[in-house]
Structure 1
Amino acid sequence: MESVFDAILPIFGIVTIGYLAARFGFMEEAAIDGLSKFVFNFAVPLLLFRKIAQAGLPNDMPWELPIAFYGGVIAIFLLSAVLGASLFRRGGAEAVSYGAAACWGNTVLMGIPIVLATYGDRASLPLFIIIGIHTLVMVPVLSLGYAFAGGKGRGLGAALGDIAGDLVRNPILIGLLAGLLYGRYAPPLPTVLDETTRLLGEASMPAALFAVGGTLARYGIGGQAPHALALSVIKLVLLPAIVWLLADRLLGLPHLWTQVAVVLAALPSGITAFLFASRYGAAKNTVTTTIVLSSFIGLVTVPTAIWLVGP
């Protein structure tokens, strides 16, 4: 357990430094936003491009991995939305936001650094399979959920337009597809391109963690804290448990792949859940509170999840 904390605490240390820098005015919101855009629009897509272009994907796609991960994620989304509507008495669109907060983890900004720091480059393939198709799976699920719930008067047509726009413009998806095409049809990366993408990829990890901390500094503990606490527990405890059952017990994935899936499932709620809640005007305060609470609770639960799934 001590070795797990030794690997993970520096990661949360960078998040804390980013939080303090923004909280005490050393980094303005515009600077944090710019750093986040650099990470999401350039550094991570180029990291993904380089890893996929060099390693490629297996000839036989291991569909058991996304089935285990996204089976758990979608199950938690539906469960949390139902709980939001029934137990917490939230309206249709607000219930969908509850589901989003409980299922959409911080897989890019925190997931990549944590998984690579814990398991090394050998975890790159399962890591990038999950992250690469995250948008393809979850954007349609959430957008259609809001459409059927009547979020902010947006119907099915508007939801389909949102889905198409989000997919076409998503830098992570573009990086994945570009890496796949280059790896399959082009020669090995030239030295200059390889070194450029390597340097940017290495910059993505500390920059992403710093940006997470800086972003958290602008959100506080708002309304519906008991609801947010319940959603945080679902996200940090129940979701990784379900993914472990699917990956290890039901589908029998290789141990490393199970570890990666469980750790990604155990991450705190991601900022994207707030972006969806804002787009559809539903339960924004509860979602932001869930993001903050789950991030702080994750200081304990994420290392615990890594320890539980073993070396």
Structure 2
Amino acid sequence: MFAQNFLVAFPLFALIGLGFLCTKLNLLTDSVGTGLSKYAFVIALPMLLFNVMSNITHLPPPNWFIAIAFFGSCFIVFVIGRVIGDRFLKLNGEGQTIFGMAGVFSNNVQLGIPIAISLLGQEALPSIAVIFSLNGFLMWTLATIAIEISRNKSPSIKKTIIKGTWSTLKNPIVVGILAGTLWGFTGLTLPTPVQTAANLLGNSASTVALFAVGIGLAKYKLSTNLGFSLWITLLKLGVQPLIVLVLCQLIGLGPLETKATCLMACLPVGVNVYIMSQEFNVLQGATANALLITTTLACLTVPLTLAVFGLM
């Protein structure tokens, strides 16, 4: 099972490696990666999700208990990360927050969508759309409140939630999901030329997003705080997938939902964590290291974890 999963996932990670190699050989610059990432995030991936979700009436309905399993694991691992950061790594409150967040904030969009389609098929996208819709809002809100508590002791939770909700509704990924779902329920179809254009844009999403990840990784280098990064890698690629599997079984999710939820938990650290570390000026080196290490290892750990769990 591992060999089969690896062969399916390998071309996706090969695209990341190709983007990384092209940048290291100075064939491309970081600005190219920035442009490709922007195109994938704002245009291609939302269009892919629009195309899939517009067929919502022909796809399995999402089970919203997925959110309990996935985000329940995020909260548990986040707390574990804060305890490790406090007891063993002697981090302050802000450092504990970013450290804990690095153990749970996955690269759900650029990696999650292509891998889910390759390993599970489009039938899994309504399930993981539940995670996409809530991930950014819940993760950023949790991190912001935790940081504000450590800094001010009296955060404006209402203001933070309102700001997070508005940011979520403006997120192109969420817009693609909602627009596709609403269009699907109308029962209408796009004119053939428009649908063809939409398909061409959506079909470019996986290739462009993965290639852009590789270009982006080329600017990170292994630096200080490597020990912190290895702790993060253990939490992200080892502890979180295991906790998600346990929660899926306790809740009683079906096979497809369990596979989709565990796959999302197996993914490497997302770039949002590095953005958080810059935003709050904490653990930039450790999060950059973790981003590079977990993305490199995920080529092996994603198919291996799914095979060991008996999900593929």
* TM-score using structure 2 length: 0.92
SS at match of 1:35: helix
Rounded Cα–Cα distance in structure 1 between residues aligned with 2:170 and 2:233: 29
CA contact (8 A) 1:147 1:159 kept: no
- Please name the residue that 1:261 is paired with: 261
Unaligned runs of 5+ in 2: none
Say if 1:180 and 1:122 are closer, same or farther in 2 by CA, change over 3 A: closer
- Please give the alpha-carbon distance, in whole angstroms, between the structure 2 residues aligned to 1:302 and 1:60: 25
Distance, in Å, in 2 between the alignment partners of 1:293 and 1:160 is: 32
Whether 2:247 is the aligned partner of 1:246: answer yes
Change (3 A) 1:174 1:83: same
**Residue type of the alignment partner of 2:273:** A
State the match for 1:122 in structure 2. Answer: 123
1:7-59 deviations in Å (ceiling 9; x for gaps): 01111111100111112211111110000000111111111122112215989
In 2, distance between residues paired with 1:57 and 1:70? 27
Q: What is the TM-score normalised by the length of structure 1?
A: 0.92
Partner of 1:79: 80
Stretch moving more, 251-260 or 162-171: 162-171
Within 1, Cα distance between the matches of 2:79 and 2:190? 43
Alpha-carbon contact 1:47-1:201 (below 8 Å) kept: yes
Q: Deviations over 1:155-206 (max 9, x none)?
A: 5377457525532431112212222222234623332332222211110101
After the TM superposition, which of the residue ranges 93-102 and 52-61 deviates more from structure 2? 52-61
**Is the 1:139–1:166 contact (alpha carbons within 8 Å) kept by the matching residues of 2?**
no
Residue correspondence of structure 1 range 117-196 to structure 2 within 5 A: 117-150=118-151, 156=156, 159-160=160-161, 162-164=163-165, 166-185=167-186, 187-196=188-197
Report which stretch shifted further, 182-191 or 268-277. 182-191
* C-alpha deviation, 1:288, in angstroms: 0.8
CA distance in structure 2 between the aligned counterparts of 1:57 and 1:76, rounded to whole angstroms? 35
Paired letter, 1:288: A
Higher mean C-alpha displacement, 265-274 vs 295-304: 295-304
The CA deviation at 1:251 is 1.2
After superposition, give the CA deviation of every residue in 1:117-170 in whole Å (9 maximum; x if it has no partner).
11222222212222222223222222222222229x995377457525532431
Q: Tell me, yes or no, if the aligned pair for 1:220 and 1:288 is still in contact at 8 Å.
A: yes
**1:86 counterpart letter in structure 2:** R
2:110 alignment counterpart: 109
Tell me, yes or no, if the aligned pair for 1:57 and 1:125 is still in contact at 8 Å. Answer: no
1:236·1:294 contact (CA, 8 Å) conserved in 2? Answer: yes
Instruction: Give the Å deviation of 1:61.
Output: 5.7
Q: Could you tell me which amino acid in structure 1 is paired with residue 210 of structure 2?
A: L
Q: What corresponds to 1:28 in structure 2?
A: 29
Gaps of 5+ in 1: none
Q: Secondary structure at the match of 2:204?
A: helix
Distance 1:253 1:286 in 2: 35
Percentage identity across paired residues of the two chains: 26
> Partner amino acid for 1:33?
T
Between the aligned partners of 2:284 and 2:51, the Cα distance in structure 1 is 36
* 141-150 or 212-221: bigger deviation: 141-150
Q: Is the aligned partner of 1:297 residue 2:301?
A: no
Secondary structure at the aligned position of 1:25 is classed as coil
Question: Structure 2: which amino acid aligns with 1:279?
Answer: E
1:209 aligns to 2:205 (yes or no): no
The question of whether the paired residues in 2 share the 8 Å contact of 1:236 and 1:301 is answered with yes
Equivalent residue, structure 2, for 1:282: 282
> Number of matched residues?
309
2:96 matches 1:95: yes
Residue 52 in structure 1 maps to residue 53 in structure 2: yes
Q: Give, as a single letter, the amino acid of the residue that structure 2 aligns with 1:6.
A: L
Cα 1:125–1:132 shift into 2, 3 Å: same
